[in-house]
Structure 1
């Protein structure tokens, strides 16, 4: 029996590496979700709010490096998910948006349709701003090639795409989607070889080169190649803020930490500032990575290699994809005869004090360092705010966070998507303000057997906003009882009014894998992590400096 359009779409998604769907059904998408449920081609996870769907899919693809699906209905669903997809676009995560849509016959009946905004094309026009390719599957005969094109671009550019399936086309017969092409990147190999040689020649002339690894290293799957290049050339490595968590599983690499400019650790800042050849691999040049210290790197005397090409000071090579370049660099750079053992250890604080003192953000970092040292590293999913900056004082572990786009509401649904994709139990760090946005997704965790440990930084405050505008009354939030929330929504809640209670709560949560756990951590207002304190101080200092004429 010939398969229908929705079945072929699902099989095509699977062939292109998709392993899960996150979604919320709605009337225009009901036929599609019927096929999803009955075909069992891909597992589906249902959530309560469209932004959570997008964040969960984003976190899943950050975990496995392959596309993940965020499926919603037309209009009220799709337009409610724009912000998470903007996050994915800005941070280069290949999320596949699938939206149900009005049937072809409905489009010509002369009536306005419910969920319609300005016109029937409003939704796809909005998504054109935050996706790299789009298609409406209005013709089942053309659909297979259209699906293949869109999915290939999703992977090639590591950015989200948009597929709309009209509800009256779902059950139409359709051919199979063409298999993924063997090569998604096409490059002039002579140009790649010349670029690699030019890079190695510049490195040979440098006294203090430094590799700065960015998020594209993870997105395009060259983390192990960067680590090997560092070993062969004996060059230290730091990551940008967006790439925090890279090299956490790399062995014997001269890893020095995360570069946050003047907002980070002084030794990392000095290492980058004093380098006569910064080598940026896969780094997005944005204010999050360099906003406090763009002047500390002379980009006219740096190597910057990314998705589309490589610049070496005043000249460069277009059309040299990062994966091709890394392969050629290793081909031209032979491994040393003797293996060097690195003893550079990034400093992280250990030794949690389980006393009656009220918790500070850095206490949470120390507790996690102790736990990871004893039990092994765990995945972290973190929201924005001081919970994110606290992770910079946690030993280098695997992490998902919207470090550049900096949206709130990411943490809890990201932890949901992370565990759904990985099967590994994560720790979620979230502020009380961000929890109020999307934290209620914990109610969907028991139905899928998800059991994260959720640490809520509860200061009844928009504390990061307070640091920049302390006089505003809107910074004060209602004091919620997150212990009761955790208990009432199917998990186990705890209240940690001091460090002793935090340790006891965390140990109990770690031991019980049958439930999700919510630990309500009391933190006083105006108390910041060390890293956020430095970051805010740097921004304020920068703003106070007079503009140059």
Structure 2
């Protein structure tokens, strides 16, 4: 599940994960969190035989177990064994275009059953007058603001809009930052973002820029604790422009059915080309200069070592990070993109994510940053690398501890790991 999720997120196309009936489905619970991350991954899961589900008491607990896992996909498409009317099928197929996970459940005695062909999805209707009015109002709000800021998040990547959004930022001439979950966006833009907004835990100047803005444009931003819970001062969303999930909200009203790509195109049509650079502070300065001083290695030392490699002329790498110290250390690394479990839904993302991403990267190497606890869970997936012909770089934080669990229950000895 983690590998399919990462492949979908990296390529902005369909990823696929297939698991067995029963216990295998539980391994997909965390991958199913792609609904909130807008990851277009298709999950194929087995289930009991059609007849067995109705008559055998020994299979009933397993059916209930499978249903509990399906709950993670209840807001996505669910394909059952019963034929659906033709009109329902495009709805399931359209989920990838909306950058959402798709759930396909296959009874184990119907693996070879024939499936009727499904036609192309109908085009989503767009009210051109509403789109034009929305674009005009967004531009008016940005132009009237004394301190406008553009904040980009995951939908910009999911819908393949990074190049257009980079051009939009240059034409607007406003400072650009990313959300925590959007870290790594626009890394190849002529004028990259100033940094990542992490509230009190991040760059004080970026925090001030965002929280004091009277024209904050949240482009494709997920409103979540991960992105905004650590704000130093509460951001009044009524004074922002929020474009997300085919809707644009300004103040107290919302334009519905406004696709993000349509909005970006409409804004570009209204703005002349510009060669001016983005206003604002200098881009975030990453830590460099690892010193061989004989002291114990700290997480920031790892970031310095990676950044020194880039400063020496090596290309930045795409980073797949697990949660905890790994994730926050990766935030201080120069990268060509960052994938991580920003929702903290579970551990073990790093290694399989690096494998999935490199499989669809066109030969680019991936840097995986993982702790020893998460490595015990999924690190053994590295055994597949030779067969797949890939060679990810893995940095293991071997601190002999379930550090994420220790944060919540520091007195418990079961958080200790051996130095294995």
TM-score between the two structures when normalised by the length of structure 2:
0.92
| Alignment of 1:68 onto 2:15 | yes
Number of aligned residues: 416
For residues 217-232 of structure 1, what are the structure 2 equivalents within 5 Å? 217-232=156-171
The equivalent of 2:229 in structure 1 is: 291
Equivalents in 2 of 1:288, 1:71: separation in Å? 29
Match of 2:316 among 358, 377, 386: 377
Q: Is the partner of 2:134 in helix, strand or coil?
A: helix
Report 1:266-285 matches (<5 A): 266-285=204-223
Using the alignment, how far apart are the partners of 1:219 and 1:397 within structure 2? 16
Equivalent residues in 2 for 1:115-194 (5 A)? Answer: 116-117=60-61, 120=63, 123-124=66-67, 126-131=69-74, 132-139=76-83, 148-156=90-98, 158-181=99-122, 183=123, 185-194=124-133
- Structure with bigger gyration radius: 1
Whether the 8 Å contact between 1:98 and 1:165 is mirrored in structure 2 is yes
* Counterparts of 2:150 and 2:364, CA distance in 1: 30
Cα distance in 2 for residues equivalent to 1:472 and 1:125: 30
SS of the residue aligned with 1:129?
Answer: helix
Is 1:111 matched up with 2:56?
A: yes
Give the Cα–Cα distance (whole angstroms) in 2 for the partners of residues 386 and 370 of structure 1: 20
Could you tell me how far 1:121 is from its partner in structure 2?
Answer: 6.3
- Taking the aligned partners of 1:311 and 1:81, their CA distance within structure 2 comes to 34
- In structure 1, the gaps of 5 or more residues are 1-53, 481-549
| Cα distance between partner residues in 2 of 1:241 and 1:341 | 21
How far is 1:107 from its partner? Answer: 4.1
Secondary structure at 1:356's aligned position in 2?
coil
TM-score normalised by length of structure 1? 0.71
1:468, CA displacement in angstroms?
A: 4.8
CA distance in 2, matches of 1:250, 1:210: 17
Structure-1 separation of matches of 2:39 and 2:152: 17
Contact preservation (8 Å) 2:175, 2:278: no
Secondary structure in structure 1 of the residue aligned to 2:360: helix
String of CA shifts for 1:283-331, please: whole Å, max 9, x gaps. Answer: 1111111111174422121111111311111222122121211111111
**1:487-513: per-residue Cα shift (whole Å, max 9, x none)?**
xxxxxxxxxxxxxxxxxxxxxxxxxxx
Indicate the RMSD between aligned Cα atoms, in angstroms.
Answer: 2.3
Which of 224, 240, 243 is the aligned partner of 1:305?
243
Structure 1 outlier segments of 4+, above 4 Å: 142-148
Indicate the larger mover: 368-377 or 343-352: 343-352
Q: Does 1:390 align with 2:329?
A: yes
Distance 1:322 1:100 in 2: 35
1:335: Cα distance to partner? Answer: 1.6
- 1:143 and 1:354, CA in 2 relative to 1: closer, same or farther beyond 3 A? farther
The corresponding residue for 1:441 is 381
Distance 1:395 1:172, change over 3 A: closer
Is the Cα contact below 8 Å between 1:217 and 1:281 reproduced in 2?
A: yes
